Chain A
Amino acid sequence: MSAEAHSMALPERTPLESAGSRAAAPVLRALPKLKQRQKGLIAGIIGLLALALTVVLAVNIHVANSQYTVVQLQNDHRALTQTNQALTEQLQHLESPQALSRAAVGLGMVMPAEAAAFDLGNGEVVGTAEAADSGDRPSGFVATPEAPGDDAAAPVNVSESAAGAPAGILGAGALNTLTTPPSGQNGQEESAGTRSQFSPDELNGGTIPAPSFD
């Protein structure tokens, strides 16, 4: 019955055309299946794209953050290197013979006198020991080098002020502490830590410079 209606509804169709539509019919039946699979694929692709976008964003944020960390660490490294260098310079300055001699005078020390020695082989004393002369301070012909980074502060001549003072921690030693300005190591360290060493060129309008090779 339905086949009759069907044939009646398409009276002008050529035999070829009807043959073609008849052949296409089974393919149409398969379509819904295919459509469902495509839906899943599109959702998958969109999901994948979203995931990729998220990953790219995350990586980007991470890279950007890491670059800030790199700059910060480079900054810290430079600051620490320079603090280290400043302290090394101070140490070398304090190790210089002039500074040592000045510090010794500050503690009330004087030049040694003749020393004697025990000959352990025969138990004899070799040489004659003498008491040191309390007024025999080392001469100061060789200038004390300038303390590193301390252009303004004139060296304090402790030896002159210590000349009349009694020896020991309460005498010349205390005088030394009073007359010598604090070395300011902590202050220096602090200023070195918070320093900003970047030129406008390096900053390029920002607050932290872009990573560079040096």
Chain B
Amino acid sequence: MASAQKKRADRVLSFRMRIGLTMILVMLLVLGGRLFQVQGLDPAGHAQAAVSERLRSIPLPAHRGDILDADGRVLATSVDRYDLVADQAVVDDFVRYDETTKLREEVPVETGISELSEVLDMDVEELTELVVGEDRYSVVARSLTPEQSAAATEIGIPGVYAEPVSERSYPSGAVAGSIVGFMGADGPLEGIEAAQDDALSGTDGERIFEVGGDGIRIPIATFEELPAEDGQDIRLTVDQDLQWFAQEAIAEKSHQYNAAWGNATVLDLKSGEILAMADSETVDPAEPGATDELFRRPLALTQAFEPGSTGKAITFATALEEGTLNPTDSFQVANRYEEGGQTISDATDHPTLDMTAAGIFARSYNTGTVMIGGEVPQETRYDYMKRVGIGEPIDIGVGAETSGQLRPPEEWDARQHLTTQFGQGYTTSVLHNMQTFQTIMNGGVSVPLRVIDSYIDADGTEHPADAGEEERIFSEETSEEMLRMFEGVVDYGTGSDAAIAGYRVGGKTGIAEAAGAGGGFDGYTQTFIGAAPLDDPQYLVSVTVHRPQGYWKDWVVTDTFREIMSYVLSSYDVAPAGAESQAYDGFTGENQDQPW
């Protein structure tokens, strides 16, 4: 009996064991199958999927480089700002600890919002709309300073938090604003910010690590960090203080004549460095929308106009260089001149005068100029004009350049071979005029204009910007003679207000008609371009006023030139030499005081 029972028990046991064994086998089979699937079929793909499930990558934004002036003062930099964002689903009444009563108090969300409105200086109703609702992401306020954002988040409204953003700051505002340029919502839009974006922006980095199922980093797993490469700082040749001074001076002049625009540009004559490029009105990069579109880019680059009498400089220099003229050659200059059916007349009704070439230049007589320019073949004049850059784009690294317009001689109309001699029939920008004068006054050597001095790496390594190729266009002798003729303009010619006591100053005035939108001329452009000190010319200043209102004989821009040039000479420590003028006589004979 006992053995039968034992037998049955054994059978039951073995039956149970079989079930258990079968289950274990099934499980093993499933696991084995899965193992085979994972390890046998596409093991790399599965491993990859597992890793990418765990891998997290955070971008490390690169720091955008600063834009500095010639002395390293900051014109544009990046600062930390915060956007205040509300997760409206979380916004509710809340509890907060009161410092004074030492109690925890219930705060209704309305109270929180009214406190927030004080911090943000916003309307309560407007704010309520942004904070209360169903939206999971509602931007309440943009670009708060760290202090403001701290004050806003300290109120403690649940669901209202600050997101860090990087923003551009322009500490000097509108000083050099059009050169520096500005940023839009999606990136740089104008000026150095846009043209030099590649250098400024750098390369973003990345941080890669693995997280577990709970979202916490696995300490011993993959950790890679590709550091961000910060952008380069860009140092300009612009002097912030001089730029400001020039902007004030030209704004005052433009305001005086109620002109469409004015520009004052200062150049280091020997290096081609632009020290200031000032417009009568300048964009504040922090608020570009507030400024008229015309003034958002440097006028010296964008605006082309007929140069007028300043264009006589290249005509005279060409004649001197080609040997068809000496500064003291004498001419009989009437106030009208006819050639091939075209009549050229002077601005004033002067009597016929016995003048030297220098005198014609100083008094800026068109009639005398065409007598001189006509001696040089027009193709030769055109070549020289092309060689100093007229009709070609001038790239100084800011973008936005105009090339002006100069047609080749075969396309000139019946009058243009005459008008191009005294600065009409073609257009130039302020920088074209500066380049022409720079070449003539710098011993005949053209040095490319530039506004970028150097690129500075994040570690302080400096890379000087490409200064371009110098090119000799006129001889030293021509340059010397031209300087003495420029001096005559200031001594006894049309630019007498430009004189600065103690320094030899020379330059050329210009007035040209401005073409209107509907064809024909309906305004003027008044210019003076001059250099000092003439013993060794170092600085070149141009003042241009476009469409001044009033009578042309009343317009004077030489006083603005004198103001800016005096500032330049004293702030760059150019001592007055008190040297005697070396201007040529303007008239043949003893009497140098002839009627205009």
Give the B-binding residues of A (Cβ under 8 A). Answer: 81-82, 85-86, 89, 92-93, 95-98, 101, 112, 114-117, 119, 124, 126-128, 138-146, 148-149, 151-152, 188, 191-192, 195-201, 213-214
Contact = CB atoms under 8 A, between A and B. Distances in A.
A105 to B, nearest CB: 13
A89 B169 contact: yes
B578 A97 contact: no
B148 A149 contact: yes
A86 B248 contact: no
Given A82-B80, A139-B252, A213-B58, A145 B576 contact: no
B223 to A, nearest CB: 10
Contacts of B282: 142
B173 A96 contact: yes
B502 A116 contact: yes
Contacts of B570: 112, 115
Contacts of B159: 200
Looking at chain A's contact residues, the main secondary structure is: loop
A142 B161 contact: no
Interface of B: 58, 73-74, 77, 79-80, 90, 121, 145-151, 153-154, 158-159, 161-163, 169-175, 207, 209, 217, 240-241, 243-245, 247-248, 251-252, 255, 282, 284, 286, 501-502, 566, 570, 575-578
A89 B170 CA distance: 9
B147 A145 contact: no
Contact of A142 (B153, B173, B575): B173
Nearest to A119: B578
A114 B80 contact: no
A117 B502 contact: yes
A60 to B, nearest CB: 15
Contacts of B566: 114
Given A139-B251, A197-B162, A200-B158, A148 B502 contact: no
Given A128-B501, A145-B171, A97 B161 contact: no
A70 to B, nearest CB: 14
A196 B502 contact: no
A86 B251 CA distance: 32
Given A97-B241, A127-B576, A195-B154, A148 B169 contact: yes
Contacts of B576: 116-117, 126-127
Given A82-B80, A127-B576, A195 B146 contact: yes
Given A92-B169, A95-B171, A142-B247, 14 more contacts: A93-B171, A96-B240, A97-B240, A97-B244, A112-B570, A119-B578, A141-B255, A142-B174, A142-B244, A142-B251, A145-B171, A145-B172, A146-B173, A148-B169
